[in-house]
Every structure is written in C-alpha cells, then in structure tokens.
Amino acid sequence: MDANAATKAINDKYTTLGGSTGSLGAATTGKLVEDAKTGFHIDYKNGSIYWSAKSKKAYAMFGAILQHWISLGGPKSSIGYPTTDENVGVYKKGRWNTFENKAVIVLAGAGVHCCSGPIYDKYMALGGPGESRANEFYPTTDVQRTSDGVATFQQFSGKLGPRIIYLVPKYGAVYIRGDIYKKWMALGGPNTILNGGHKLGYPVCDQTQEDHPEVNLTAHRIDFICNTGMKASIYELVVSGSNPAPCIIYGQILNKWLAIGGPTSRLNGGSCIGYPSTDELGSWDGARFNKFSSGAAIYWHPKLGSNLIYGQIYDKWMALGGPEAKLSSGTPIGYPNVDETGSWAGARFNTFNSSDYKPGFKAAIYWTARHGAVLITGPVYDKWKANGGPEAQLNGGTPIGYPIKDEQDDEGHICRFVNFSSEDDGGVKSSIYLTPRNEAVLVYGQIYDKWMALGGLGSFLSYPITDETSCGDKGGRYNDFLGGSIYWSPKTGPYEHKGPLPDTLGPDCFYKAPQTPDGGIWLPCDASTNQHVQFWSNGTVRWWGNIHADGAWQYSVIDTCTMTDADGQQYQFAYRNTVGGYMDKGDSEDHPWDISKQTDSIRLNWRAIVARMDVAPFADGQGAGFWGNLYGTFKGLFQDAGGVNGIVAIAGAIIAAC
C-alpha cells in the first residue's frame, strides 16, 4: 500500500474540512494507522478520515455513524470503506455515509442503521437518503427477516410517511409506502387470508403511481400474487386534499375490472368507472363486490360470475332492497348476471337472477331517458320478450317500447300489470297484465284504449284472457276478456261484446272457431244478452238469440232477415223451423235459435242496412213475435227502431270490412 499517497489524501481532506478549527477538531495522535493492509486512517477529536487502497480516496466519518461502522467490523466489515464524506439532509437532520460494497449507514433522529445489499440497491434507486429535500427518507431499522422466514425487509420513514422495502426471493426488492403500506399491515400483512382462503403474501412490484390526465385520474397501486396464484391489488385514489382510504381488489372482480378497461373504462354517459372505493366485501348468498369512485359496482357470485352495474339501474336495485328484494312471486331479485348493456333507442338494462341460478333470469331493470329505471319481472317480462321486446311492431307498426313503471297491482288487486310506451310523449301504448290465472296477456292500441274507456279491470270485461289476435285476412283484431270481448276492424274501430257467445252455436261459435270454414270473419253487433246479429266479411249475416214462446208447443216459426242496400234493393232470407218445449201453468220459456244466410250483393254494394226479424203468429192465435230495425254505416253505429214483447234495444255493432 502507498502510505505517502494515503497521508497526502487524508491531509488534503482534513484541510478541506477546516483543519483543527473544522468539524473534525485537532488530531488525537497525528499518526497514520494501517488497517489490515486494506487502507489507512487518522483519528481526530470528533471523527476520523479513512483512505481505501481500493478507491485511493479519503473520506471523513463522525460520531454515531463511525461507531456503528466500527461495531460492524470497520475496514474489515462486509461493507468496506466509506465512499462519501458524512452527508447532512434536511428531514430530521439525517446524516449518512455510503460504503464500497453497496451499503449506507444513516443517522436519523436517535437511531443509526445500516442498509446494504439488494435492499440498498432499491433504496438508492428510489433516491436514497438524498432523494430530494421534499421526499428524503431514512431507514428506521436494520435489515430484518420476516417471521415466516420467507423474506427480509427494512423499514424507512420520511416526509411521505412510513415506507418499507422487502427482499422476496421470487420477486427481488420491492418498495411499498404510506397509506397503502398501512392498509396492507391493517389487513394482516403477508399473512392476510382473503376470501376463498387465498394468502395475500408479499408485494411483487414496487408501489407505483398511475396517471391518467385525459380523465383527471391519479392513483397509487401495489400488486400481489397470492399463494394460489390469484392476483390482488391495493389502490389509493389521489385527490385534492385528503386521499380516500386505500382499497383492496382481487380475484374475479379485479380481472373483470381490468378486462373492461380498468379505471378509464367508459360508462354510459361518458364518465369513467374509476378506482375501487371499497375493499372487496361480502354480500347475501355468498356474493362479493367492490364499489368504485364513479358509484359503479362489480358483483361476483360463484354461479353468475362478475358483472358491472351502475347509475340509475344500480340505484333502483338498491332502492328495491338489493339482492334480497322480494319480487311479486316471492323470489329474491338476486344479482346482475350481465353487465349493464345498451338496447334499442338508447335504453340500458341489467338482468338479474337468484335462488336456483338456473339459466336465464328472474328480473330485469330497464332505463330510458324519459322514464328512468323500471323493474320488470317473471311472466310479464317473458311475454314482452316473446313478442319481440321493445322493438316489436304492434298492429299498426308502433313499437311496443319499454316499461314506464314497475309492475304494479290494480286498485282491486285482481291483476298485476306493466305499462309500455315507445312514444316521445311517454303515453301508454300497451300493457301486459298478469292475470289470476298467472298468464301474461298483451293488450294495446285501440282495443286497449276502448277497454280503459269502459273502465278497464273495473268494467264488465274485467281482465284480458287472450293477447290481441288477428281474426282472418281482412284486418280484424280482438282480445277476449273474462267478461266478454273487444273487436276491432280498420273501418269501424273497437266495439265491446258482453259475455261469451252461446254454447248452442257449436263449432261455428266465435270462441271456438275465430275463422269461419271458408275463411270469413265473425264480427259482432250486440243487441242484448238474448239476441245478437253478426255481419260476416264475405257478406253473410248471422243472427241468434232466444225466441220467446207464450204457452206454445211445437208450432211453426218463420224467421226472416231483410237487408236494403244504398239503392233501395232488398235482400230477404227466410228460415223455417219448429220451436220445441212446453209451458207449465202459463209460464214462459225461451228457446235458442241460430240462422245464417249469405249474398254477394251485400258486400258488393251497400251503405245502409236494415235487418228485420219476424216470428209468425202461432196457430192457436196466441201472438208472439218481435222485430227490430238495424241501421248502420261504415262507422258502425246501430240504433234500435222499436220493438214489442220485451225486445231489448240494440246497443252497438261492428261492421266487417266488406
């Protein structure tokens, strides 16, 4: 070794530091001391200057740092000679020397600690003790081994809060700090057991900062890989003022969030989903969820997977009671089984499932700009979708649209129903009723309007029992109701019919055969509960009812129908039959009758029709009979022209499209 070179370098350093009046003070021996053939040093009142044969440079050491180095072995220690003079920081007046073999000894506050090896490399890569005046940080412990023996670590402190560097064999030295470090420790540190039995373990990368200036989002993040291979992360959203508490997200919910685009994933309306605002939390029936800074949430269920829900649909679901909310069937609504999804005309929806988690779903919440979020469930939903959903073209071409209110009870609690609309004015254009028979029935258009005008469920018709149905090829439509029917044709509009047609009509009865054998359409003119007239689209007239017999038995009866067209031409049809039955003590008896006649002239040329029905006098002279005149136009309103023997006045009619 070159003692002269060492002496010169040490003296030059001493002079630079102020000599005897400087920080080192006077020399205590003034002699050059050799250090195991690796270097030399000279001791002074307040410290020492060491020269290394390896670096050929001299550096000063003082007080506690010098004593700590000496306790480690000094020049003979594994960290070697100093490579800097003692430096002075700002935070807590920290002081430090670095050494030849990747080490630093730091004095901060009352403690002095050595940092070496891969942890030192990470420390220095992060800026070391002189990172910056704003962010400098110092070790607060020596390097230690974790309780499970898996890793070594060293703790640090600075203006940005506590920090820690872990040396993990599989991942190297990784850095974690501040509130994220506190969160990890609060969870249980590396021994944290997550839902499903996954052990969280150690960070696999440095804590990083994510910046998304395009959407004004910033967050800190640390990642983990559990002992089972499952991924987990802790995020801390950065906001002005105090940051929200960091949150952990993991497993399938983490995977879902990242798959849809992570924090910058755009929701409907343009906002971003943001960062987790809660830890993964447990919910009813084994589900798990995280909420996010946008107000959105991702729910996971073992049988449904992970699905995104947000905005007014999420608010509606929560307002209903969340997954445990009972539907009208008594079944819980359950969890979303699809992400919020776009639909026709700008609508959005989530479907839900619960209980048995069979394929399909139990309910849906649809959102539209006009009506907000609306719940639709069970048979009503099934009927709506079976008819084509919101885009389904009703008779006349109007789409059925979306539900405008939740499924509700009528005032008499007879049925449950949902109203639909596709119009800008939001008016009801159709409804689906869930009847006491648990059948969902669709009513819409002019038939719906007519039913409502009659009083809806409170009318004599009560609830619908068939969907609106086409009757033949002339454009006629009808709905059957519990108490009757409403028929509609393009030229006459809707007319109601009270009660079912008589069973005595047999196979030609409207309820049993909506189309006649040759493809015609029966459309009603309701005279009373006892007598009716129908005008058939191919020109046939049909009338039926009860003949009132007073004390007669097996007498001949002649029934006639006379029709007069616009030119005064008359068309008469006759039918001869025998009334059967007998009278007891002068009481009366009614007998059913049913007559059909046809002429092409009726459908070819007419505007006004007069129908006359006569019963001939009985042979014993006891008169019995009735007549009625029916008048009509294409608009289909008929009025009674008179009658005898208790005949009930004609109330209305529907004229076929001739």
Bin 484: left if φ > 0, else alpha if -120 < ψ < 50, else beta: left
Residue ranges of the chain whose pLDDT lies below 70: 91-92, 110, 131-134, 355-361, 424-426, 472-474, 491, 500-658
CA distance 178 to 158: 10
User: Cβ(535)–Cβ(519) under 8 Å?
Assistant: no
Encoding tokens for residue 74?
Answer: 């000094």
Encoding tokens for residue 359?
Answer: 């394929």
> Which residues are 155's β-sheet partners?
164
Question: For 76-102, what is the HEC assignment?
Answer: HCCCCCECCCCEECCHHHCEEEEECCC
In this prediction, residue 398 carries a pLDDT of 86
Q: Is 635 exposed, middle or buried (0-12, 13-18, 19+ CB in 10 A)?
A: exposed
**Long-range contact pairs involving 133-136 (C-beta distance under 8 Å, separation at least 24):** 133/89, 133/90, 133/91, 134/159, 135/159, 135/160, 136/89, 136/90, 136/91, 136/94
Residue of 516, 425, 534 whose CA lies nearest to 471: 516
CA distance 205 to 224: 8
> Which residues are 113's β-sheet partners?
106
In this prediction, residue 130 carries a pLDDT of 72
Question: Is residue 194 classed as helix, strand or coil in its secondary structure?
Answer: strand
**The residue to which tokens 């001791």 are assigned:** 43
Residue of 455, 451, 623, 645 whose CA lies nearest to 551: 623
**How many CB atoms within 10 Å of residue 148?**
12
CA distance 421 to 119: 67
CA distance 563 to 630: 9
In this prediction, residue 526 carries a pLDDT of 34
Question: Which residues, including other chains, have CB under 8 Å from residue 147's CB and lie 6 or more apart?
Answer: none
User: Cβ(138)–Cβ(122) under 8 Å?
Assistant: no
CA distance 333 to 361: 9
State the Cα torsion 614-619-621-624 to the nearest 10°: -30
User: Cβ(565)–Cβ(604) under 8 Å?
Assistant: no
User: Cβ(190)–Cβ(146) under 8 Å?
Assistant: yes
Return the DSSP state at 618: P
Return the DSSP state at 626: -
Question: Amino acid letter at 321?
Answer: G
CA distance 9 to 168: 41
167: enclosing H helix or E strand = strand 163-168
pLDDT tens for residues 573-611?
333 333 333 333 333 344 444 444 444 433 333 323 333
pTM assigned to the model: 0.74
Residue of 241, 238, 233 whose CA lies nearest to 257: 233
Encoding tokens for residue 468?
Answer: 């609106």
Question: Which residues, including other chains, have CB under 8 Å from residue 303's CB and lie 6 or more apart?
Answer: 357
DSSP letters for 258-320? HHTTGGGPBPTTS-B--SBSS--EE-GGG-EEEEBTTS-EEEEETTTEEEEE-HHHHHHHHHH
**How many CB atoms within 10 Å of residue 524?**
23
Q: What is the CA radius of gyration of the chain?
A: 47
User: Cβ(556)–Cβ(631) under 8 Å?
Assistant: no
> Which residues are 473's β-sheet partners?
none
Residue of 462, 459, 467 whose CA lies nearest to 439: 467
* Residue burial 408-420, b: 16+ Cβ < 10 Å; e: rest: eeeeeebbbbbbb
**How many CB atoms within 10 Å of residue 625?**
17
CA distance 18 to 43: 15
User: Cβ(282)–Cβ(302) under 8 Å?
Assistant: no
CA distance 50 to 547: 134
Question: Which residues, including other chains, have CB under 8 Å from residue 593's CB and lie 6 or more apart?
Answer: 544, 545, 546, 547, 557, 559, 577
Domain extents in the chain: 185-309, 494-658
CA distance 74 to 52: 12
Return the DSSP state at 324: G
177: enclosing H helix or E strand = strand 172-177
**How many CB atoms within 10 Å of residue 437?**
11
User: Cβ(532)–Cβ(540) under 8 Å?
Assistant: no
